[in-house]
Structure 1
Amino acid sequence: MNPVIPPDQFPDSSSPAAELPRRLTLLQGTALNMIDMVGIGPFVVLPLVIKTLGGSLFLWAWVLGAVVSLVDAFVWAELGAAFPKAGGSYNFLKISYGEQRWGRLLSFLYVWQTLIQAPLVVASGAIGFAQYASYLLPLEEWQRKAVSGIVVLIIIALLYRKIDSIGKIGLIMWGAVLLTLGWIIIGGLSNAQIPLSETLSSIGSVSGGVLAAGLGQASVKTIYCYLGYYNVCHLGGEIQKPARNIPASMFISIVGIAGLYLLMNLSVVSVVPWQTAQNSEFIVSTFVETLYGPRAAQFATVLVLLVAFSSLFAVLLGYSRVPYAAAVDGQFFKIFARLHPTRHFPHVSLLLLGGLGFVFSLFFRLGDVITAILAMRIVVQFVGQAIGLLLLHRRRAADEFPFRMPLYPLPVVLVICIWLFIFFSTGLTFMLSGLSVIGLGIIAFLISAQFRKQWPFGH
Structure 2
Amino acid sequence: MSDTPASGYVRRLSSWDAAMIVVGGIIGGGIFLNPGIAAQRTESGLALLLVWVGAGVLTLIGALCYAELGARRPHAGGSYVYLREAFGSLAGFLFGWTMLLVIYSGSAAAVATIFASYASGVFGLPPGTVKPLAAGALVFVAGINLFGLKLGAQVQNLFTLLKLLAVAVLVVCGLFLAGANGAGVLAADPARGNVGFIGAALPVLFAYSGFTYLNNLAGEVREPQRTLPRSLFMGMLLVIAVYALVNVAYLAVLGHAGLAASTTPAADVMNRVFGPIGAKLIAIGIAISTLGFCNITLVAGARVLQVMGEDGLFFRSVAKLHPQHRTPNVALLLLSGWAVLLALSGSYGQLLDYATFGDWLACALGVATLFWYRRTQGAEASFRVPGYPLLPLIFVGVVGWVVIETMRSNPVNAGIGVLIMLAGIPVYYIWRRLFPLAASAD
Q: Distance in 2 between matches of 1:73 and 1:225?
A: 15
Determine if the alignment matches structure 1 residue 241 to structure 2 residue 223: yes
Runs of 5+ unmatched residues, structure 1: 1-15, 98-102
Tell whether the 8 Å contact from 1:199 to 1:270 is kept in structure 2 after alignment: yes
Partner of 1:8 in structure 2? none
Matched, 1:147 2:133: yes
> What is aligned with 1:185?
171
Q: Are the structure 2 counterparts of residues 277 and 206 from structure 1 closer, same or farther at C-alpha, using a change threshold of 3 Å? A: closer
Question: Quick one: structure 1 residues 130 and 177, their matched pair in 2 at CA, closer, same or farther if it must change by over 3 Å?
Answer: same
Which residue matches 2:368? 387
Which residue type is aligned with residue 26 of structure 1? S
User: Match for residue 5 of structure 1?
Assistant: none
* TM-aligned CA deviation for residue 430 of structure 1: 2.6
1:225 positional shift:
1.1
Q: Are 1:85 and 2:75 matched, yes or no?
A: yes
1:166-225, Cα deviation, whole Å (9 max, x unpaired) = 22222222221221111111121112444232231228x999xx64x3421221211111
Displacement of 1:54: 4.9
| Aligned: 1:407 with 2:419 | no
Offset at residue 386 of structure 1 (A):
2.5
Give the RMSD, CA atoms, in angstroms: 2.5
Q: Does 1:431 align with 2:414?
A: yes
Contact conserved, 2:312 with 2:438, CA < 8 A, in 1?
no
Deviations 1:316-369 (A, max 9, x none): 111111100111122211100111232220001110111111111122455433
Separation in 1, partners of 2:11, 2:70: 15
Query: Are residues 1:329 and 2:311 paired?
Result: yes
The verdict on how the C-alpha distance between 1:196 and 1:155 changes in structure 2, with shifts beyond 3 A counting, is same
Distance 1:38 1:150 in 2: 21
171, 190, 209: which one aligns with 1:227? 209
Which position in structure 2 is the counterpart of 1:7? none
Q: Which residue of 2 aligns with 1:4?
A: none
Q: Does 1:171 align with 2:157?
A: yes
- Whether 2:25 is the aligned partner of 1:36: answer yes
Deviations 1:15-43 (A, max 9, x none): x9751000101110100111111112211
Is 1:226–1:254's contact at 8 Å kept on the other side of the alignment? no
| 8 A contact 2:145–2:151 mirrored in 1 | no
> Distance between the aligned counterparts of 2:55 and 2:349, measured in 1?
18
The 10-residue stretch of structure 1 (141-150 or 33-42) with the greater mean CA deviation from structure 2: 141-150
Q: Distance in 2 between matches of 1:73 and 1:192?
A: 35
Which piece of structure 1 moves more, 106-115 or 363-372? 363-372
Instruction: Kindly provide the amino acid, as one letter, of the partner of residue 43 in structure 1.
Output: F
Matching of residues 67-86 of structure 1 within 5 Å: 67-86=57-76
- Which string of whole-angstrom CA distances, capped at 9 and with x for unpartnered residues, describes residues 71-116 of structure 1? 111221111110011111111111223xxxxx11111111111111
C-alpha deviations, 1:393-413, integer Å up to 9, x for none? 1111222x2211122111111
Deviates more, 1:335-344 or 1:424-433: 424-433
**Cα distance per residue 1:233-263 (max 9 Å; x no partner):** 0101000010011111111111101100110
Please give the alpha-carbon distance, in whole angstroms, between the structure 2 residues aligned to 1:288 and 1:254: 26
Match of 1:416 among 390, 396, 399: 396
Indicate conservation of the 8 Å contact 1:44/1:128, yes or no.
no
TM-score normalised by structure 2 residue count: 0.91
Q: Unaligned stretches of 5+ in structure 2?
A: none
Distance 1:439 1:55, change over 3 A: same
Out of 427, 433, 437, the residue aligned to residue 450 of structure 1 is 433
| Partner in structure 2 of residue 320 of structure 1 | 302
Q: CA deviation at 1:432?
A: 1.2
Quote the residue 1:290 is aligned against.
272
Q: TM-score, normalised by structure 1?
A: 0.88
* Structure 1 stretch displaced more, 22-31 or 157-166: 157-166
Conservation of the 8 A alpha-carbon contact between 2:51 and 2:201: yes
The question of whether the paired residues in 1 share the 8 Å contact of 2:11 and 2:219 is answered with: yes
Identity within the alignment, %: 23
Instruction: Mark the CA change 1:368 to 1:219 in structure 2 (over 3 Å): closer, same or farther.
Output: farther
Aligned length: 433
For residues 185 and 57 of structure 2, the distance between their equivalents in structure 1, rounded to whole angstroms, comes to 22
Give the 3 Å change call, closer, same or farther, for CA 424–18 of structure 1 in structure 2: closer
The corresponding residue for 2:378 is 397
